[in-house]
Amino acid sequence: MQETIERGDVEHARRLARTLRLRVRVYRSDAFSALSSAALLILLSGCRPAARNELSPTLTARKSPRELAVTLQPPDPNGTRRTFDEIVALPDEKFDVAEAILALASEIPVEAGGTATPDIAATLTELDRLADRAKTDLPDNPDGIDIFDTLYEVVLDRKAADPYRDDRADNYDLPLAARKHRGSCLSVGIMTLSVARRMGVPVYGVQCPAHFFLKYLARPGGKDAKDAATLNFDVTRPTPDNWKKLDDDFYRKWQRIDTQAEMSGAYLRPLSDREVVSTYLASRSGFFSGKKLYAKALADAERALALNPRNVTACVNAGFANEAAGDYEEAARHYNRALQIDPESVRAMNNLAYLKVRDQSSSIYDLKGAEKLIQTALREQPGSAFLHATNGEVAAARRDWRAAGRSMQDALRIEPKNAVYRERFMFFRDKLRAEK
């Protein structure tokens, strides 16, 4: 340490001291013994590509990151409970993302894993307590690394969040996340954001095609404005030894984010807190669809779109819920809207391809369009079983039972325990035998 300072590299010494402090804590807790792969948020519907020039490459009426920075006036944990609509109508300085999420907490049925009477007061109190503790742990004039070190220590207890599972209501349970400091990228991410907002630090939510993380934006004139103007904090894979490791390029490569989608404001930009709630609602819409609660799924997707019209996940899940209700035209409208924003959404292409061959009497029926969509999607993700399964359904629509069976076999090679794929393969095989 002393040798480093004598060489004049003061910043390196400062960083080394911080890293050593954290490493002692990490090794005691075994938090880094085995990091799980980043959680994937569920996307249960899809769309087809529209003309790429239908949308402006920049998101209109979008606030700049600096305009997002407001001083929050947190709600009184023991105060009068407000409805979700009342909270959404509040001015920015009184809009608390945690209060908004908690107002939605009782909407998950108990039989689907929800809690009938979530303890809102206890959750808000715990968030206030964590913020007070974190503020005392920060040095004077903290930079982004100082802030993330503190959030990792105080909020995450030096542990990564759990992998996402699409059948768990826990992913949307903020009271559980606050009480036990565990959950998914979404629940723990929103808990961490809520604490950061109470601390008054410039940390914001960020959405990927199937993931949620946090971003620090250095204040103009701050000590790290040039060195680390932005830093990312992923609660599923925190990197206290090098917070700069997970930069935006990491997410661009991992999620294969389309340039137009990013330019249109769909991904990687800092979100307003209302848009974070949109991310939550869009993802929970997919959870409801998985439980076959399609009315709830559609309601969540529509509320998500009201808060952020460029939410691709919300478009896709709104389409899926409409499709489940038999409204194919409305489903196609949502799917097409999603692909205007993200022309390379594989889930979108997959689901719209299937929609186009479901009913020959439908105005949506388009065999050639379905073939083009699913082939484009397969070129993007040849290892996805659901794409091969949909390719089988498209082949079946043209009564090519041999090709349909082969595609379903490809799906089964990837997911050999999928009973639906096996049942469809047997159906296609029987059709082929009947025609011989």
The CATH number that applies at residue 383 is: 1.25.40.10
* Spatial CA neighbour of 143 closest among 189, 190, 203: 203
Q: Residue 160: what pLDDT? A: 86
Q: Residue 117: what pLDDT? A: 87
Inside any domain, residue 12: no
Radius of gyration of the chain (CA): 23
**Of the residues 230, 263, 296, the one at which a domain ends:** 263
* Mean pLDDT on 136-147: 92
Token pair 């990490």: residue: 26
39 pLDDT above the threshold of 50: no
The DSSP output letter for 90 is S
45 pLDDT above the threshold of 70: no
Cα angle: 391, vertex 379, 265; to 5 degrees = 110
296 pLDDT above the threshold of 50: yes
Inside any domain, residue 360: yes
**Of the residues 239, 263, 287, the one at which a domain ends:** 263
Inside any domain, residue 339: no
Among left, alpha and beta (phi > 0; psi -120 to 50; other), residue 219 is: beta
Inside any domain, residue 302: no
Tens digits of residue pLDDT in 315-359: 999 999 999 999 999 999 999 999 999 999 999 999 999 999 999
**Of the residues 210, 234, 263, the one at which a domain ends:** 263
Inside any domain, residue 148: yes
* Mean pLDDT on 211-239: 82
Q: How far apart are CA 324 and CA 430, in angstroms?
A: 27
Q: How far apart are CA 209 and CA 182, in angstroms?
A: 22
Q: Are residues 242 and 354 in the same domain?
A: no
* Mean pLDDT on 5-19: 40
User: How does residue 67 score in pLDDT terms, banded at 50, 70 and 90?
Assistant: low
Q: Residue 226: what pLDDT? A: 58
247 pLDDT above the threshold of 80: yes
Q: Are residues 94 and 218 in the same domain?
A: yes
Q: Are residues 33 and 172 in the same domain?
A: yes
Q: Are residues 35 and 177 in the same domain?
A: yes
Which helix H or strand E contains 298, and what residues bound it?
A: helix 294-307
Q: Are residues 83 and 211 in the same domain?
A: yes
Q: How far apart are CA 343 and CA 352, in angstroms?
A: 13
> String of b and e for 297-318 (b: at least 16 CB within 10 Å)?
bbbbbbbbbebbebbbbbbbbb
Q: Hey, what are 28's tokens?
A: 């005691």
Q: Are residues 358 and 236 in the same domain?
A: no
Q: Are residues 209 and 66 in the same domain?
A: yes
Inside any domain, residue 54: yes
Q: How far apart are CA 376 and CA 369, in angstroms?
A: 11
* Mean pLDDT on 53-57: 35
Q: Are residues 224 and 368 in the same domain?
A: no
Q: Are 336 and 344 in contact (CB under 8 A)?
A: no
What total of structural domains would you count in the chain?
Answer: 2
Inside any domain, residue 308: no
312 pLDDT above the threshold of 70: yes
217: Cβ contacts below 8 Å, ≥ 6 apart: 65, 66, 69, 202, 203, 204, 229, 230, 270
Work out the mean pLDDT of the chain and round it to a whole number. Answer: 84
Q: Are residues 240 and 382 in the same domain?
A: no
**What is the domain extent for residue 422?**
345-436
Tens digits of residue pLDDT in 159-206: 888 765 666 888 899 999 999 888 889 999 999 999 999 999 999 999
Q: Residue 170: what pLDDT? A: 86
Q: Are residues 253 and 378 in the same domain?
A: no
228 pLDDT above the threshold of 80: no
Query: Strand locations in 81-133, DSSP E?
Result: none
Q: Are 425 and 412 in contact (CB under 8 A)?
A: yes
Q: Residue 210: what pLDDT? A: 84
Q: Hey, what are 89's tokens?
A: 């109508």
Q: How far apart are CA 230 and CA 203, in angstroms?
A: 10
Q: Residue 163: what pLDDT? A: 65
Inside any domain, residue 309: no
Q: Residue 373: what pLDDT? A: 97
Q: Are 145 and 201 in contact (CB under 8 A)?
A: no
Q: Are residues 210 and 355 in the same domain?
A: no
